[in-house]
């Protein structure tokens, strides 16, 4: 009899990232739930989770593409063109809707073209405006009104109200994910980090492609069962990645194969995505 070795949690994260579309389609079959694809990290995922919707971040494939030139300027960044190409090629054909919170001009253009030319299963789309001047005393009331409008639109879309209890559950799922990811990220400060930068990126990108509750369960399993068995590695040259967006795990793996270790990052597919928690206020309208 052949005894199959149980797949490690890290392998599961890598598999989700590699087969993110297959995972999403399987999740739909298992749960009957809706999926909303979103651009950029400002999307209030707590509201979607409270409504039973799975948020999935729209990312590129790192493949050459030639389908976006008629939709957005070729001078625009490769990331926004790659994201749009995934929609035009039909790789996100399982999405029930698409949404975005205000971000840079390039990715806004990708979203606008997506809404016009990439159909979703239920043709739901929503754009959340963000305060242009966060320091203004009018910024918070403006953002609260935008979140209220988004919550109402989602309620109409799914056909049921989102209660305060639902919002509390959505906030807790997201905050649990943030706490667990920060716990793992802090281990990179050690003289011999037990996790690599590549592994951390796989974890974060996987969290943006899968059910957050399932991701939390895998993180807990990794922390309790697999981390204690690791001895760590000589960090070598300790590097930090700074930028806007970077989910290129192959690039990180190449750098770390040469003796370096990515011990910190500051970009929207890394620490910026999960670092700050949503405060538990009596008024759930107050978002992070």
Task: Determine which helix (DSSP H) or strand (DSSP E) holds 237, and give its type and residue range.
Answer: strand 237-242
* CB-based burial label for 263 (10 Å; 0-12, 13-18, 19+): buried
Which pLDDT tens digits describe the chain residue by residue (288 residues)?
333 345 799 999 999 999 999 999 999 999 999 999 999 889 999 999 999 999 999 999 988 888 998 999 888 999 999 999 999 999 999 999 999 999 998 999 999 999 999 999 999 999 999 998 989 999 999 999 999 999 999 999 999 999 999 999 999 999 999 999 999 999 999 999 999 999 999 999 999 999 999 999 999 999 999 999 999 989 999 999 998 888 989 999 999 999 999 999 999 999 999 999 998 877 776 544
Handedness of CA 181, 183, 265, 62 (dihedral sign): negative
Task: Report yes or no: 178 and 219 within 8 Å, Cβ to Cβ.
Answer: no
Alpha helices in the chain (DSSP H): 9-18, 20-31, 45-50, 78-88, 105-117, 139-158, 164-186, 197-207, 212-221, 249-257, 271-274
Task: Report yes or no: 76 and 106 within 8 Å, Cβ to Cβ.
Answer: yes
- Taking CA atoms, 80 is separated from 11, 87, 245, in Å, by 28, 11, 10
C-alpha span between 59 and 68 (Å, rounded): 15
Task: Report yes or no: 111 and 39 within 8 Å, Cβ to Cβ.
Answer: yes
Spell out the CATH class of 33-162.
Answer: alpha beta
DSSP code at position 272: H
Which of 249, 100, 241, 273 is CA-nearest to residue 177? 273
Task: Determine which helix (DSSP H) or strand (DSSP E) holds 129, and give its type and residue range.
Answer: none
Per-residue tokens: 28: 């739909």
Q: What is the pTM of this model?
A: 0.93
Q: What phi-psi label fits residue 173: left (phi over 0), alpha (psi between -120 and 50 degrees) or beta?
A: alpha
Which of 3, 1, 19 is CA-nearest to residue 11? 19
Domains of the chain, residue spans: 1-30+164-288, 33-162
- Taking CA atoms, 1 is separated from 4, 8, 153, in Å, by 10, 21, 55
């Amino acid at each position: 009899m052949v005894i199959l070795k149980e797949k490690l949690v890290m392998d599961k994260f890598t598999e989700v990232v590699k087969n993110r579309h297959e995972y999403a389609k399987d999740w739909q079959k298992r749960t009957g739930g809706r999926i909303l694809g979103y651009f950029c990290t400002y999307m209030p995922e707590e509201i979607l989770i409270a409504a039973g919707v799975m948020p999935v971040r729209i990312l590129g494939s790192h493949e050459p593409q030639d389908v976006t030139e008629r939709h957005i300027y070729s001078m625009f960044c490769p990331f926004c063109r790659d994201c749009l190409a995934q929609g035009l090629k039909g790789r996100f054909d399982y999405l029930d809707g698409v949404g975005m919170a205000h971000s840079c001009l390039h990715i806004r253009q990708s979203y606008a073209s997506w809404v016009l030319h990439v159909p979703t299963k239920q043709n739901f789309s929503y754009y959340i405006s963000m305060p242009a001047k966060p320091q203004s005393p009018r910024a918070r009331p403006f953002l609260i009104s935008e979140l209220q409008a988004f919550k109402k639109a989602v309620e109409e879309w799914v056909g049921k109200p989102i209660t305060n209890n639902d919002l509390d559950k959505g906030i807790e799922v997201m905050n649990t994910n943030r706490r667990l990811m920060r716990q793992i990220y802090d281990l990179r400060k050690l003289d011999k980090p037990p996790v690599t930068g590549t592994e951390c990126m796989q974890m974060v990108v996987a969290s943006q492609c899968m059910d957050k509750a399932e991701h939390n369960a895998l993180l807990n399993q990794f922390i309790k069962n697999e981390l204690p068995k690791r001895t760590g590695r000589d960090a070598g040259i300790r590097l930090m990645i700074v930028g806007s967006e970077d989910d290129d795990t192959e690039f990180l793996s190449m750098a770390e194969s040469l003796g370096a270790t990515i011990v910190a990052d500051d970009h929207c597919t890394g620490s910026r995505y999960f670092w700050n928690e949503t405060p538990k206020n009596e008024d759930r309208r107050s978002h992070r």
